[in-house]
Structure formats: structure tokens, C-alpha cells
Amino acid sequence: MAAYALIRAGDLDDPLALCELLAADPERFVQTALGVALREIGRVDADRLRTFLDRYGADLLPEGRRTARTGLDERSTG
């Protein structure tokens, strides 16, 4: 929960570092949490999310990638 407060405050460095460490974790629930955190990051800074997905997107499970990308989709349609 603390990571979401940081993300909403625009402090993305630590949450992104944590996402990098966990990107290749095969646990479904970890991937779900990553996708949600990345979605929130995308709502704050779409460019940082795009950069993350370019670097680590292949490491994420499809569910995590899909959830993360909704942060970009919302910005482009909203």
C-alpha cells in the first residue's frame, strides 16, 4: 500500500525499482500486483511506463502486461 502512496505522489523511482526486481517472478499474484502498480504508474507518467514495458515487458506474464497497459489505454482515451 505504501508504494501506491508514493506512485500517486509522483515518486516513481522506488516503485519502478521494485517492479524491476519482481518482473520475472512467475507467481501469478505477484504479477497481478505488478500489473496494478504499473497501471498506476502509467496514470502518473505514461512515458516511464512505456520505457519499463520496453525493457521488462517480456519478463511479465501476459496478465501483468495486460493490466499494466490499461494505464496507457486510459490516458489515450481519457
What would the DSSP string read from start to end of 20-75?
HHHTT---HHHHHHHHHHHHHHHHH-HHHHHHHHHHHGGGS-HHHHHHHHHHHHHH
Per-residue model confidence as pLDDT tens digits over 20-40 = 999 999 999 999 999 999 999
pTM value surpassing 0.85: yes
Per-residue model confidence as pLDDT tens digits over 53-73 = 999 999 999 999 999 999 888
